[in-house]
Structures are given as C-alpha cells and as structure tokens.
Structure 1
Amino acid sequence: MPISGKQQELADLLVAARRNASQLSSLPDDLVPATATEAYAVNRIVAEQLGWEPLGWKIAGTTDGVRNKLRLDGPIYGRTFRRFACTSPARFGAAELLDPLIECEFFVTLARDLPPRDAPWTLPETIAAIGEVHAGIEVAECRYARAALPPMPAILADGSASGRYVFGDSIENWSEGLASIPVRLEVDGALRREGIGADVMGDPLRPLWWLAEQRRHWGDGLRAGETISTGSMTGMLPVRGGQHVRACFGDTATIEITIDP
C-alpha cells in the first residue's frame, strides 16, 4: 500500500524518536493522519524502518472507561517489540521512561498462525490458536509529550503508545476462563486500581479475536510466536521515579516493577 509524503515524514519522526528514546514536543497539524487507516499504515512503516524483532501487538481501548477517557468508538492497536519485553520482577530507571502508564493485562502468545483468508475468524478458532497466557503489565509510553498530545490518529501511528512488557507468571488454567480473574494494582503498598477480566470486552480473549479480524482485512494476519496484550483491566495509571508497583492476578500470579529515581 503506497503512502503519502506526509505519512513518510511522520514515520521518519517516529522512527527517530523510537531510536533515541525521546518525545516530540509538538506535531504540525498537517502531519496528523486523516484516518485510522492512514495512521496504521504509518505504524507499519515505522516498524519496517526500525527493523526490530517484533514481539507482537498491543490492544487498547478494550474497556468502557478507557474508551470514554480517550474518546474512542472501539479498540485500537499497535506493533510491539521484543527488545522491550522482560520478566517480573523488573526494574526501570525513571529517566529512561516516556510518561509511563501502568496497565495490567493478559499477554496471549499464539501457537499457530491466524493467516489472512476470505472467511471471518470465529472466536473458538482464535482461542484454538493460543499456546499460552501470562499475567502481564504494559508500561505504556508515548513518543509525544503528555502535555501536548496530538489527535488520536497520530497516536495510532505511534503504535497506540506501545511501550515495555513485563511478563508475570503463566496462567496455567487459562482455558477455563479469564473473565472471572480479579486484578489488584498497588503502588508502594497502597491499592490504586482494581479490575476483573470481564471488564475487557466481557472476556479478555475477545480482543484477540477482534485483532485477528483486523489483521485479516489488512492481509497479513497474526503469526505463531507473537504475543498480544489484550487490554488493561485497571485503566492507565501514571507512575514516577521512586515508586514500586505490584499487581496481583487473583491468587494465580504476581508482577512487581520498581521505578528507580
């Protein structure tokens, strides 16, 4: 799919920001993609130009609260990169993070491809492609400064603020259902957010089905080995240096992150 000169210009800016771990202080209006389709095309070009090994995809906007806050009509998504994946307990320096937001999610890794095809995927077919599920935290980051965020299509072009991915324990009984698993998010020992799997589109595996359909229409599908973060059950919680984050997924898994000053 050919892209315009403006789309390429935006992609170049986002590639440089990714490589330099920096933010754009502002974005000219004429570089904001006109549509979500144009924005996702920019995200594809950014990933291709970076040449980084993909981790998979992130999905956001999967709860009513997040969609209302971001003024979204439905979910959004973006490419993620394996170099930003790690396991709990994790430690980051505050200076290396870009306006970090903590999001408690399920990380779903595929065992089989969900390739492009004419017929729509069904939810059972999508579930059958799953290899494993982990408790996870995305430390979302944006290449635009939070104080000067551009319109949503520019954020989609940035991979919907894809950031770092902290893997917790494997959810061994995931096939029995994720909707009933509660999540508690604590910062420095104080409860800050609570949620449950069902908050994410009724079932955290439904966003995966949605993404499989999105990528089927794009003509590339989803691939075995890719990990998809299926959307936050605890919203988007800003964190800062000197804080310790702990997330409990029922009595099944715990994830811990320390943000050094």
Structure 2
Amino acid sequence: MNDAALDHIGDALYEAWSSRRVMTPISGSMPDLTIDHAYRIQQRMVARRIAQGEHVIGKKIGVTSKVVQQMLNVHQPDFGILLSGMQYEDGAEIPMESLIQPRAEGEIAFFLKEDLCGPGVTITQVMDATKEVAACFEIVDSRIRDWNIRIQDTVADNASCGVFVIGKDRVDAQTIDLAVCGMVIEKNGEVVATGAGAAALGHPANAVAWLANELGARGIPLKAGEPILSGSLAPLIPVTAGDSLRMRIGGIGACSVSFK
C-alpha cells in the first residue's frame, strides 16, 4: 500500500474529526491494512492537526484492560499522540458539540523527570524515571461509526483520542503501590465503575514501559514533563450533555469533568 493511499485515509479521518462526522470502518474496505499501515495513517491525521496550529504535548496507551478489550473486541494495546487542543482543566465543562460519540475512561497519568526511549525499557526504569502521577479522565471518541472497530481502525484514528482532564493532585509515585490503588468513578452522583491499577497490563508502569518500547521502535521518546496516559482501569462510560463525572484513586487524588 503506497504512501498516497495511506495519506488519503489519514486526510479522511482528519476531515471526520474536523466536521464531527463518522465514517465507515477502514478495515472493512481494506482487508490488507496492517497495523504498521494504520500507524502511518495516524501520523498523517496528527500531522494535519499540527498544521492547523496544535502541537504534541504527550502520549497515551489504549486498550490496556481486559474489560475494555472485551467491550471493543480489540485484544491488544495501541498508542496515540496527545495534542494541545485535547487538554482541559480539572473540573472543566466540555461542550458535546466538540465530540462525536464520547466515552470516559478513568486512568493514571504519569509525568517523567527524565526522557525514556525504548527498546528495552523495563517497569523498574519507568518507576525510577517517574516524577509524579495523577488521576485522569480520558474521553475517548471514535471517528468510526458505532465504535465498530478493529485494531487497525483505532490505531489509524489516533487510538480513538478525544480529550482528557488531569486532576490537580499529583503525588510521588514511589510513595504508593500503583498496582493495588483503587479507583471509584461516580456519574451524576452514583457509583458507576470501580477498578485498580493492576487493570492496566498488570501495573500502570508496565503499560508505560510497553508504550516506551513501542514508540522507541519508531524513534519517538517519552519526554520528561509531558503527560502519559497509562490506560483505563474500568469499563468505558458513555456520556451525554448534562452528565458529570468524578473519580478518586486511593493515594493519588481526584478528578472531575462535566459535559454541556
């Protein structure tokens, strides 16, 4: 598959994002599309947004937990690029017209004190390089109609990135056990999901190590100071206008977001 064909798909995904419209699954009409092809498409989509004034501020890993893999019928992790237009402040009210078919994920965000670049990055190296962690909502949002995705579709669609919100509380990752810290999410005042750090590939730092190694194979580092979203700890939560979400992760802190 040549670069022009891949760029054409990346442009179509960018236009779907820009116009807030969905498109049919890419994999359905392109059975020979590989994951490497899909990442090449992702690069084009991201480049189109950067050309319009955004810039890279972080990275994310997606589809890390078994419950999310089962919900989406995608059974391996992927990664996406976080751009400046995706970040909202803790407690923000996000306009629904900026999204298409959003779902919320509760995650742990990492902030490094030094760069990491794979291959060969271990969970121990991630923990040694981590300055602090925070509670985080990622609002994933697929440009593929009805979330009818295979791994190639979500990879091409920048790992279904939508927007994200990071809590104000940040703590030293060395002071808590990230594998067992518990998370509770409330939607409109009622508990709708619970989880623990181990849901993200057994340990959220293990998810970050996976990300560092996958990006490193493509010559991309995890940079000190940038947010790194380590993957959902609970099932995806659909949201509509009027909804409010609040989460707390034991030993880390809280995060909230609402939709209008």
TM-score using structure 2 length: 0.89
TM-superposed deviation, 1:197:
1.1
Distance 1:3 1:80 in 2: 26
TM-superposed deviation, 1:251:
5.8
Which residue is equivalent to 1:166? Answer: 165
TM-superposed deviation, 1:259:
1.3
Which residue is equivalent to 1:83? Answer: 85
State the one-letter code of the partner of 2:46. Answer: A
Q: Could you say what secondary structure the match of 1:207 adopts?
A: helix
TM-superposed deviation, 1:143:
1.6
Unaligned runs of 5+ in 2: none
TM-superposed deviation, 1:24:
2.5
Which residue is equivalent to 1:14? Answer: 13
Which residue is equivalent to 1:93? Answer: 95
Note if 1:24 corresponds to 2:26: no
Note if 1:257 corresponds to 2:257: yes
Which residue is equivalent to 1:209? Answer: 209
Contact 1:32-1:153 at 8 Å conserved across structures: no
Note if 1:157 corresponds to 2:159: no
- Output one character per residue of 1:43-81: Cα deviation in whole Å (capped at 9) or x when no partner: 112212321211211211211111222233321111111
- Output one character per residue of 1:206-240: Cα deviation in whole Å (capped at 9) or x when no partner: 10000111112112232223321101112211011
Which residue is equivalent to 1:67? Answer: 69
Distance 2:32 2:132 in 1: 36
Distance 2:212 2:149 in 1: 28
Distance 1:237 1:101 in 2: 5
What is the percent sequence identity of the aligned residues? 23
Aligned CA-pair RMSD: 2.1
Distance 1:77 1:153 in 2: 12
TM-score using structure 1 length: 0.89
Contact 1:180-1:197 at 8 Å conserved across structures: yes
Which residue is equivalent to 1:120? Answer: 120
TM-superposed deviation, 1:195:
0.6
State the one-letter code of the partner of 1:257. Answer: V
Distance 1:62 1:195 in 2: 13
How do 1:103-252 residues align onto structure 2 when only pairs under 5 Å count? Answer: 103-115=105-117, 120-146=120-146, 149-176=148-175, 177-250=177-250, 252=252
Distance 2:169 2:2 in 1: 40
Q: How many residues align?
A: 255
Q: 1:215 to 1:168 in 2, by over 3 A?
A: same
Contact 1:89-1:255 at 8 Å conserved across structures: yes
TM-superposed deviation, 1:32:
6.7
- Output one character per residue of 1:132-169: Cα deviation in whole Å (capped at 9) or x when no partner: 2111000111122326x343312210111111110103
Q: Could you say what secondary structure the match of 1:175 adopts?
A: helix
Distance 2:117 2:62 in 1: 22
Distance 2:196 2:247 in 1: 12
Unaligned runs of 5+ in 1: none
Instruction: Identify the range of structure 1 (47-56 vs 29-38) with the bigger mean alpha-carbon deviation.
Output: 29-38
Distance 2:196 2:207 in 1: 15
Contact 2:55-2:84 at 8 Å conserved across structures: yes
TM-superposed deviation, 1:98:
1.5
Contact 2:103-2:239 at 8 Å conserved across structures: yes
Q: 1:235 to 1:55 in 2, by over 3 A?
A: farther
Q: Which runs of 4+ in 1 moved over 4 A?
A: none
State the one-letter code of the partner of 2:22. Answer: L
Distance 1:251 1:113 in 2: 25
Q: Could you say what secondary structure the match of 1:15 adopts?
A: helix
Q: 1:33 to 1:129 in 2, by over 3 A?
A: farther
